[in-house]
Structure 1
Amino acid sequence: MFPKPQAFLKSNTYAYESQPMVKPTGFREYDARWLFEKEINLMGMQALGLGIGTLMHERGVRPDIVVGHDFRGYSASIKMAVINGLMAAGINVHDIGLALSPMAYFAQFALDVPAVAMITASHNDNGWTGVKMGIDRPLTFGPEEMGRLKDIVLEAKFDVRGGGSYKYVDGFAEVYIKDLTSRAKLKRPIKVVAACGNGTAGAFAPRILEMLGAEVIPLDAELDHTFPRYNPNPEDMKMLHALRDKVLEVGAEVGLGFDGDGDRCGVVDNEGEEIFADKVGVMLARDISAIYPNSQFVVDVKSTGLFNTDPVLKANGAKTDYFKTGHSYIKRRVTELGAIVGFEKSGHYFFNPPIGRGYDDGVVSALAILDMLDRNPDKTMADLRRDLPKTWGSPTMSPHCDDEIKYGIVDKVVARFKDMQAKGETVAGSKIVDLITVNGVRVVTEDGTWGLVRASSNKPELVVVVESPASEERLHAMFKAVDAVLRENPEVGEYNQTL
């Protein structure tokens, strides 16, 4: 019988090397994230593999799974621990080796395998590890599956039946690359800076873009799991500023920044302006809805209000559904509504056929952006940006808040804004006209200015985003008002970045 995991074990002890350690808070809303060796050990990852296998049997899923890992110094060893657990549960493992997350999702289709477990900490700082999982392609786990998996693992309710197998799928990266490049090339050699933050995408994204006819200037594309310049995170202003500087230096038409596991893409235009991913989504929605009128889109609650108010989208008959933030939530909503694309402010884009297969792939997103430029040869990326109605928006800002308390803090913030609305109090000097509470709280005032507070799904943080269609002054006023409510809770720490 495999031992029941412990929440904490002291390192460099007999217990640490002979028992599984799994901190419960690592089971997030739609994937798993831990600080390796501090919150989970290798035996804990083996327990996780056993848990995934057990859940597959419970759900009647064929016992075959794709497994891959990202480029971090410890990911391969973690992957093998997970594989040991999967095989002990009687699962047949198809190991595609070093991979992007979307490469693992693609493998479910290409290899006709129902399940996936991708070992990645995505854009998290070094020291973090995690797993993105799914047993119903192209979907990944949501809260219901994660809750059941947590119960199985922490209570050691494992189905240890043995009989699993292991197969290494040699050369699978070439299959993925061939799939993405088996399409028409760009009509002209668009000059692109491809920034990879020394993450996994550096091995694949520049090459794919070049094969499709782009003129590619790689930036930080050499794999280096120490991430010497900045974290590979296209929401991080350090990465965006480095991308901006290179775009201006070489005179590129666009800068594309890929995150650590290649499922997101950030954008800098030809004038060096960093365009937040939700605004890029509006630009793409305009382009796509012109080709496919009456298109259905899905966006997360962090995204700009332009999806509802943009006159071009209205003229094209586009419809947009605002839903919970999180790649699993948006992916499911896109499938449920049959939307052609789902957009997240974080840069996760989910293209359904005929553009994609329903999962998030930063390279597919990059190709959609290049196709948009190709279809608009008389306009630059900056021109397309300026064509949008003007709004002032913030980056995603994340004050520290411990995992154990962050949801409780958000509940307090929601209650505080509800009380303010009930009493007729103003926010940033303006009347509250709407409170959207599908995911945290989005406070909307009468001039359209809004502020969002929610709990991060993958780190011990809160998430704050503000936007105003009125003025930059109103943007700052809303941030000040939202932050004042947060500061009523002393447990909320410092921001990673602010306005």
Structure 2
Amino acid sequence: MFPKPVPFLQTNTYAYESSPMVKPTGFREYDARWLFEKEINLMGVQALGLGLGTLLAEMGVKPEVVTGHDFRSYSASIKLAMVTGLMAAGVRVHDIGLALSPMAYFAQFDLDVPAVAMVTASHNDNGWTGVKMGAQRPVTFGPDEMGRLKEIVLSGSYRYADGGSYRFVEDFPSHYINDLTNRAPIKRKLKVVVACGNGTAGAFAPKIIEKLGCEVVPLDTDLDFNFPHYNPNPEDLHMLHAMADKVRESGADLGLGFDGDGDRCGVVDNHGEEIFADKIGVMLARDLSKLHPGATFVVDVKSTGLFATDPDLLKQNVKADYWKTGHSYIKRRVTDLKALAGFEKSGHFFFNAPVGRGYDDGLVTAIHILDMLDRNPDKSMAELYEALPKTWGSPTMSPHCDDEKKYGVVDKVVERFKAMQAKGETLTGQKIRDLVTVNGVRVTTEDGTWGLVRASSNKPELVVVVESPASEARMREMFAAVDGVLRENPEVGAYNQTI
């Protein structure tokens, strides 16, 4: 019998090499992430594989899993440790090798395999690892499945079975690339900066954009798991600024930036101005709703209010559904509502039938952006952006807060704002118009200025976003007010970036 995991072991000891270590907080709301060697060891990853195989049997899912790994120095080792656990649970494993997360999701369809377990830490700093899992195409695990997986692994309640096996799927990336490029090329001549932050997307994104008929200006596309310039995260201002500089230097029509596992896309316009992903979502919703009037779009609570107020979208009878932040939540909501697409401020976009398969894919997002430009040949990216109603919004800002404390802090912040509203207190000198508490708290004042606080689902952080349709000054006032409430809690640390 495989040993029951423990939450901590000292490295470079007999116990560390002979027992599984799994820190409980690594089981997040919709995927799993740990600091490798500090919070999980290779035997712990084996336990995770055993647990996943056990869960699939409980769910009545055919015991077959697609797996792949991102470009980090330790990811292949982690994947193979997970594979041994899966096989011990009787699972047939289809390994597509070095891959993007959406490539693994695509493989579920292409290889007709029900489940996926993609080894990636996405945009997290080096040292992190994780697994994105699912057992029902195109959705991935949410809190219920992750909670049950946690119970199985931490209790050591594994189900062993015969029949486990392994096969390597040779040259699978060519299937994915062909699927995206076997179509009419982009008619408009576009020069595109393709930025990958030296992450996994560098092996695939430039080739795909070029095959679509665009001139590619590569930026940090050589794979380097040390991430020497910046973390591959298109929500991070370091990456966006590097993209902006390259666009201005090369005279490109736009810049497209991809995160570490290729499921997100960030955009810089032809002037070298960063466009936050939620505004890109509004632009794409405008474009797609002309082809699909009356469409429903699912939007996360971090995103701009324009999805509900933009005159062009209202004219097309678009329905906006604001939902919980997180790729698993939005993906599932898009599927349940049969929405045309879902948009997250982080850059996770989900295009459903007939314009996609429902999962998040940064390259599919890039193609929709290029098609939007192709359908508007007389408009630059900047002009399409300038056509939106003006709002002033912040980037996603994340103050540190330990995993064990962050949800408690958010609960206190929610109650604080609820009490303010109940007593008729003002915020930034205005009455609180409404509170949305589906995911943390989004507080809106009379002029439409709003601020959001929620717990990060994949890092020891909180998430803060503010926006105002009135002025930049009002946006900054809201940030100061929200931050003031946060600072009532000593557990909240420094921000990674602020306005």
Q: Which TM-score applies when normalising by structure 1? A: 1.00
Give secondary structure in 1 for the equivalent of 2:109: helix
Matches of residues 260-271 of structure 1 in structure 2 within 5 Å?
260-271=260-271
Matches of residues 35-434 of structure 1 in structure 2 within 5 Å?
35-434=35-434
Q: What are the Cα deviations for residues 361-405 of structure 1, in whole angstroms up to 9, with x where unaligned?
A: 000000000000000011100000100000000000000000001
Question: How far apart, CA to CA, are the structure 2 residues paired with 1:172 and 1:38?
Answer: 33
Aligned to 1:436: 436
Contact 2:441-2:453 within 8 A present in 1 as well: yes
Shift of 1:423: 1.1
Aligned to 2:20: 20
Question: How far apart, CA to CA, are the structure 1 residues paired with 2:445 and 2:25?
Answer: 35
Shift of 1:446: 0.2
Give secondary structure in 1 for the equivalent of 2:404: coil
Question: How far apart, CA to CA, are the structure 2 residues paired with 1:331 and 1:165?
Answer: 30
User: Which amino acid is the alignment partner of residue 444 of structure 1?
Assistant: T
Question: How far apart, CA to CA, are the structure 1 residues paired with 2:141 and 2:112?
Answer: 19
Count of residues paired in the alignment: 499
Question: How far apart, CA to CA, are the structure 1 residues paired with 2:122 and 2:137?
Answer: 20
Q: Which TM-score applies when normalising by structure 2? A: 1.00
User: Which amino acid is the alignment partner of residue 14 of structure 1?
Assistant: Y
Question: How far apart, CA to CA, are the structure 2 residues paired with 1:21 and 1:163?
Answer: 27
Shift of 1:354: 1.8
Aligned to 2:449: 449
Q: What are the Cα deviations for residues 270-325 of structure 1, in whole angstroms up to 9, with x where unaligned?
A: 01110000000000000000111101100000000000000000001111100000
User: Which amino acid is the alignment partner of residue 497 of structure 2?
Assistant: Q
Shift of 1:32: 0.1
Shift of 1:429: 1.2
Contact 2:188-2:377 within 8 A present in 1 as well: no
Q: What are the Cα deviations for residues 423-447 of structure 1, in whole angstroms up to 9, with x where unaligned?
A: 1111111110100000000000000
Unaligned runs of 5+ in 1: none
Question: How far apart, CA to CA, are the structure 1 residues paired with 2:76 and 2:430?
Answer: 53
423-432 or 401-410, which deviates more: 423-432
Q: What are the Cα deviations for residues 228-271 of structure 1, in whole angstroms up to 9, with x where unaligned?
A: 00000000000000000000000111100000000000000001
Contact 2:69-2:79 within 8 A present in 1 as well: yes
Question: How far apart, CA to CA, are the structure 2 residues paired with 1:353 and 1:262?
Answer: 21
| 2:475 paired with 1:475 | yes
Shift of 1:353: 1.5
Aligned to 2:31: 31
Contact 2:297-2:340 within 8 A present in 1 as well: yes
Question: How far apart, CA to CA, are the structure 2 residues paired with 1:245 and 1:348?
Answer: 24
Unaligned runs of 5+ in 2: none
Shift of 1:161: 1.8
Question: How far apart, CA to CA, are the structure 2 residues paired with 1:235 and 1:441?
Answer: 21
User: Which amino acid is the alignment partner of residue 299 of structure 2?
Assistant: V
Shift of 1:458: 0.1
User: Which amino acid is the alignment partner of residue 177 of structure 2?
Assistant: I
Give secondary structure in 2 for the equivalent of 1:304: coil
Give secondary structure in 2 for the equivalent of 1:475: helix
Give secondary structure in 2 for the equivalent of 1:404: helix
User: Which amino acid is the alignment partner of residue 13 of structure 1?
Assistant: T
Question: How far apart, CA to CA, are the structure 2 residues paired with 1:378 and 1:316?
Answer: 22
Q: Which runs of 4+ in 1 moved over 6 A?
A: none
